[in-house]
Amino acid sequence: MSGRSALGRALLGALAVALAAPLAACSPSGPSSADDALAVLDSSIAAGDRERFDTALDRTVPQSTRDMWWSNLGRLSDVDFERTGDGWRVRWSVPGERAVATEAVSIATACAGSVCRITGIGAASGPAPAWLVEPTDVVSVDGAVLIVGRGAPDLSAAASMASSAARDAGMSLLTVDPDAPLVLEVPAADSTYALVTGMSAARTQGLGALTQREGGAPRIVVNPARAGLWSPSQANMLLTHESVHWRLSDLGAPVGGNEWVSEGLAEWLGLPRDADEAAASRARVARACRDTDGAPVLPADEQFSSTDDADALRDAYALSWAAVDELVDENGAEAAGALVEQLWTTPAEQLGGAADPLPRWCAANSS
Ligand SMILES: [Zn+2]
């Protein structure tokens, strides 16, 4: 009996060799198309298989670039490169994130005989993936995940605080998906900040941070030049402000004329994190009350983009804050949130007095 079973194993072994040999002989020694090379990239990242990852890359890709791609991509979830009608795109998430970022990238490949490998992955037009433009780490803290360029300011504590501020606001508008981690991108340099936002420096260098959608995923992108100068309370205030935009990004922009609703809610949650900034905003509104006999006008949408006039811009934010502050004082946070949601889509004049709270703020706060 033992002899027969040994023979059986020997036969099976021979059969396996016979089956394997022709397969190996007709299979190419690498990806057979650009799409195939990207599929190898996807599957090797998912499997944590560095050796296979390298088989998708042409030998002309420098070792330092390979190492950066491998290190950066390995920290992400669900990386998926794919061809589109007119180019290439990549889908990706950070650990714990349910939303999926989708960004255009440019992929270069070279085919020799029947083997095609990737020679380059670059930024396309629009925002570039944060992991593509520099070496990054992924930092998970309570309530937030940060993709951080090496050497960028450490904002993990402020991000965690910003996330909990929205959860604790007592406004269900801000807690639609309370467990979704806030996702931030903190580039290390001006140049990578410009690539990640995909916008000209003229539009972005004056900003501390902005919230943008990368396909289905909202991301707070921090301006490293500004963030390096923030005190801890300023960092808390600015990231809490952005966290409101992040949480409401599904709503899109408010209806024309009601930009103050969005900025006012963001300031209402953010300002209490920095006592100096809160006092300065309060003083600005008090001055506007005096200058207008107690009836300041709500800021027009254009005032939020007048970045060349810092004073007008600060007035716009302060008045927006006071308007939402008054709605909360009068109605409580929960009902004020419902009003804000209504104002998001309804022109202010259709809502009567509820949409013009500044005179009431002046009356309640004049002393
Ligand atoms: Zn804002």
How confident is the model over 109-126, as pLDDT tens digits? 999 989 999 999 999 988
Quote the pLDDT of residue 348.
78
CA of 241 to the centre of ligand 1 (A): 6
Local structure of 106: helix, strand or coil: strand
Q: Compute the distance from residue 316 Cα to the ligand 1 centre, in Å.
A: 11
Rounded to the nearest whole angstrom, what is the distance from the C-alpha of residue 106 to the centroid of ligand 1? 31
Which residues neighbour 270 within 8 Å (Cβ) at sequence distance 6 or greater?
165, 237, 238, 240, 241, 244
> Given a cut of 60, is residue 14 above it in pLDDT?
no
Whether the predicted pLDDT of 5 surpasses 70: no
pLDDT at 52 over 80: yes
Looking at residue 12, what is its pLDDT? 42
- The residue-averaged pLDDT of 73-82 equals 95
What band does 367 get if pLDDT is binned at 50, 70 and 90?
A: low
Please tell me the total number of residues recorded for the chain in this structure: 367
Say if residues 286 and 365 touch (Cβ distance below 8 Å).
yes
Least confident of 171-185, 265-279, 352-366: 352-366
- CA dihedral sign, ordered 141, 93, 131, 50: positive
User: Band of the pLDDT at 23, cuts 50, 70, 90?
Assistant: very low
Give the pLDDT band (50/70/90) at residue 310. confident
* pLDDT tens-place string over residues 341-356: 999 999 877 887 777 8
Residues 89-111, buried b or exposed e (16+ Cβ, 10 A)? bbbbbbeebebebbbbbebebee
Q: Each residue of 139-182: pLDDT tens digit?
A: 999 999 999 999 999 999 999 999 999 999 999 999 988 889 99
* 275 C-alpha to ligand 1 centroid (Å): 18
Q: Residue 306's pLDDT is what?
A: 74
**19 has a pLDDT exceeding 60:** no
In the chain, pLDDT over 70 holds for what percent of residues? 92
7 has a pLDDT exceeding 80: no
CA dihedral 107, 212, 151, 230 (to 10 degrees): 160
Q: Is the pTM of this model over 0.75?
A: yes
Residue 363 pLDDT > 70: yes
CA of 263 to the centre of ligand 1 (A): 5
Average confidence score pLDDT of the chain: 90
Q: Ligand 1: distance of its center to the CA of 256 in Å?
A: 16
**pLDDT mean over 296-315:** 89
* Interval between CA 331 and ligand 1 midpoint (Å): 23
CA of residue 280 to ligand 1 center, whole Å:
17
CA of 235 to the centre of ligand 1 (A): 14
Distance 271 CA to ligand 1 centre (A): 12
pLDDT at 8: 42
What is the Å distance from ligand 1's center to 245 Cα?
A: 7
Amino acid making up residue 278: A
